[in-house]
Amino acid sequence: MAKLLVKLQRYFRRKPVRFFTLLALYLAAGSLVFLHSGFSREPTVAGSPRGPAGGEGPGLPYLGVMQLSRGFKAAATMPEGGRRHGPWFKSTSKEPAERGKARESAGTRSRALRSRSGREKEEDRARYIGCYVDNTRHRTLRGMSFFDYKKMTVFRCQDNCAERGYLYAGLEFGAECYCGHKIQASNASESECNMECKGERSNTCGGINRLSIYRLELAQESARRYGSAIFRGCFRRPDNVSIALPASQLMLNMSVDKCVDFCTEKEYPLSALAGTTCLCGFPTTLFPLHEREDEQLCAQKCAGEEFESCGTADYLLVYQTQVQDNRCMDRRFLPSRAKQLVALASFPGAGNTWARHLIELATGFYTGSYYFDGSLYNKGFKGERDHWRSGRTICIKTHESGQKEIESFDSAILLIRNPYKALMAEFNRKYGGHIGFAAHAHWKGKEWPEFVANYAPWWATHTLDWLRYGKKVLVVHFEDLKRDLFVQLQRMVGLLGIAACEDRLLCVEGQKDGNFKRSGLRKLEYDPYTPEMRKMISGYIRTVDAALKLRNLSGVPEDYYPR
């Protein structure tokens, strides 16, 4: 043995290239084994793996070491109309594959048994009714939907659907929750609902294009009947009412609840009361809900409820039901690489995530990001995982300022918000998460004064830099977007080069809040800004106002003053 080792040593001294080649092959083989053990047999999430990161700007846009350290699973290419999942590396041997199938079958059976026992415990609030086929183009449950690729559970889905008054809750792909009042598909085999919930391995949350559906029991009937229908206002009867509001029902004993329930059952998002007639439909160019009338014109008492108003034959009282308007819910990546990079630029806390939500609904295409935020990806922003230069997204979120970063983009939507509101929103996000709140101790401690001292100057320099170095910059004020969403969104979509469909924009108005609206219930009971802070921030407001007017743009909105 010793002689053999000596001969090998002498041989490799004469042939060092061969030695290093063998060493490299050995290391490569070890790396493949390591990757295989880390990635095999994991379901993949619809999307696309990123290319190499450019490494420009702070925050490491996405890849490099971060990809390996976090162990992101690569996304499989998704065929039209369905998902595909599977390991990166597949065995070519039949025997290991058969063993894998046996283990998978056993795992599916055990999960089904655990799920069944869990379902029996939940009979008081929901009843499992089966596995159903789903289709991305024609959803089985057409109400509200939300995704969470980390923490989805059966109870969370049921609770969210029940809270909004829906009759059914369905889970799909381990992480997607759909609500509805009617099941519009056929049954599938129970074995096809075989994916564990991301937030609880003991339960099943549907499968690939398969829904595990629960009926929310009568305990939630009151929520459905008296649930959170949204009052939209009093409107003049449209000219072509039978086209604008195609479903109708004469109700001699009319009440708000009866009309809302009727339109909900018919799967319409709008319920319009016209005296003793209930009308249902969608917001369209024939009935856009933009010109509200004095509510006294609709103040005719309901025949079935004396303390409610039911409108008249000429003036309709309109409510938004819990039926989700699906005309603007489809989203996908761009079919071909974008020729230009468009920035959605804002100071942190200025509503960038909300603007992304609106743009995705209005255009039907995903938005990207200069950074990577796992919580946003888990909530359905699929473009979050793409490298910002991939060209697959309609625009790119960025908080960057500085000449080099700004000149990387061909055009930009610059979103500006009142600095007093933006600073508080970003402070809440920093210490409480996207929809959480900073603790009282943070506001009263040293964190808040330090934060204002560091971030307030950035609010001004961010806007000034984009005005100075940006190419083709469209300025949108957050306050204007809230006040007149339709018009401002038309401007934004126009810059993106998309032909704005008015009916789709009207659909967006009904779905405008999204998943990242911070509750207004927890407001500070005091003004956190000291006189010194106000004096400093007011100076920055005047500077930005002057810079906007110098470029023949409207200055900052009036509600920035006085402070």
pLDDT tens digits, one per residue of 336-357? 999 899 999 999 999 999 999 9
Task: Kindly state the average pLDDT of the residues 95-104.
Answer: 43
Separation between Cα atoms, residue 369 and residue 59, nearest integer Å: 11
Q: Number of C-alpha atoms within 13 angstroms, CB side, residue 514? A: 24
Q: Quick check: 471 pLDDT over 80?
A: yes
Contact at 8 Å (CB) between 196 and 111? Answer: yes
Beta bridge pairs of residue 270 = 281, 320
Give me the pLDDT at residue 515, please.
63
DSSP states along 208-237? TTEEEEEEE-GGGHHHHHSS-PEEEEEEEP
The confidence band for 522, taking pLDDT boundaries of 50, 70 and 90, is low
Q: Which two tokens stand for residue 243?
A: 């086209």
Nearest to 162 by CA among 229, 230, 215: 215
The confidence band for 82, taking pLDDT boundaries of 50, 70 and 90, is very low
The chain-wide mean pLDDT, for the chain, equals 79
Q: Quick check: 111 pLDDT over 70?
A: no
The confidence band for 523, taking pLDDT boundaries of 50, 70 and 90, is low
Give me the pLDDT at residue 358, please.
95
Round the CA-based radius of gyration of the chain to a whole number and report it. 28
Give me the pLDDT at residue 78, please.
37
CA–CA–CA angle 32, 33, 35 (5° rounding): 65
Separation between Cα atoms, residue 316 and residue 271, nearest integer Å: 9
Give me the pLDDT at residue 73, please.
33
Give me the pLDDT at residue 165, please.
66
Give me the pLDDT at residue 12, please.
65
Task: Kindly state the average pLDDT of the residues 403-425.
Answer: 94
Among 13-17, 230-234, 410-414, 436-440, whose mean pLDDT is lowest? 13-17
Work out the widest C-alpha separation in the chain, in whole angstroms.
107
Give me the pLDDT at residue 313, please.
93
Give me the pLDDT at residue 259, please.
93
The confidence band for 169, taking pLDDT boundaries of 50, 70 and 90, is very high
Separation between Cα atoms, residue 235 and residue 358, nearest integer Å: 25
Share of the chain above pLDDT 90, in %: 47
Q: Quick check: 400 pLDDT over 80?
A: yes
Q: Which two tokens stand for residue 97?
A: 């594959």
| Cβ count within 10 A of residue 187 | 12
Among 2-11, 252-261, 477-486, 499-508, whose mean pLDDT is lowest? 2-11
pTM: 0.62
Give me the pLDDT at residue 179, please.
86
Among 101-105, 366-370, 550-554, whose mean pLDDT is lowest? 101-105
Task: Kindly state the average pLDDT of the residues 448-461.
Answer: 94
